[in-house]
Amino acid sequence: MDFLQRQLVEPLSNLLNTHVLIYLLIGGGIYFTVRTRFIQIRYFGRMLRQLRRARHHDGGISSFQAFCVGLASRVGTGNIAGVAIALTVGGPGAVFWMWVVAAVGMATAVIEATLAQIFKVRSDDGAFRGGPAFYIERGLRSRAGGVVFAMLLVLTFSTAFNMVETNAISGVLESSHGIGVGWTTVVLAVLAAPVLFGGVRRVAQFAGSVLPVVALVYTVLALCIVAVNITELPAVVREIVGGAFGIRQMAGGFAGGVLAAMFTGVKRGLFACEAGMGSSPNIAGAATVAHPVEQGLIQALAVFVDTMVICTATAFIVLLSGPETYNPARLGAVAGASLTESAVAADLGSWTTVLMTAVVFVFAFASVLSNYVVAEANLFYLGGRRLAANVLKVVTLLSIAFGALAKLTLVWALADLTMAVMAIANLLTICLLGKWAFAALKDYHRQFAQGMTPVFVASRAGLPGVLDGDIWEPAERRQVGALPESLTLRRPVLRPSSAPAA
Is the pLDDT confidence value at 55 over 70?
no
Is the pLDDT confidence value at 280 over 80?
yes
Closest C-alpha among 311, 218, 244 to residue 273: 311
Is the pLDDT confidence value at 98 over 70?
yes
Closest C-alpha among 7, 18, 4 to residue 416: 18
Q: Where is pLDDT greater, at 32 or 364?
A: 32
How far, in Å, are 24, 251, 259, 329, 344 from residue 90 at the CA level? 20, 11, 8, 12, 21
Query: Which of 14-28, 36-50, 457-471 shows the lowest per-residue confidence on average (mean pLDDT)?
Result: 14-28
Is the pLDDT confidence value at 435 over 50?
yes
Q: Where is pLDDT greater, at 256 or 22?
A: 22
Percent of the chain surpassing pLDDT 70: 75
* Average confidence (pLDDT) over 219-246: 84
pLDDT band at 440 (very low <50, low <70, confident <90, very high): very high
pLDDT given at position 199 = 63
Cα separation, 430 vs 210, whole angstroms:
32
* Average confidence (pLDDT) over 153-157: 85
Query: Which of 218-222, 291-295, 323-327, 415-419 shows the lowest per-residue confidence on average (mean pLDDT)?
Result: 323-327
Q: Tell me which DSSP letter residue 322 carries.
A: -
pLDDT given at position 268 = 63
CB 396 within 8 A of CB 162: yes
* Average confidence (pLDDT) over 310-333: 73
How far, in Å, are 328, 359, 401, 418 from residue 181 at the CA level? 28, 18, 9, 26
Report pTM.
0.80
Average pLDDT, the chain: 77
Closest C-alpha among 264, 248, 234 to residue 100: 264
* Average confidence (pLDDT) over 67-92: 70
- Please give the CATH number for the structural domain made up of 17-451: 1.20.1740.10
Maximum mean pLDDT: which of 53-57, 179-183, 239-243, 486-490: 239-243
pLDDT given at position 385 = 74
Q: Phi-psi region for residue 349, left (φ > 0), alpha (ψ -120 to 50) or beta?
A: left
- Give the helix ranges, DSSP H, for 304-385: 312-319, 337-348, 352-381
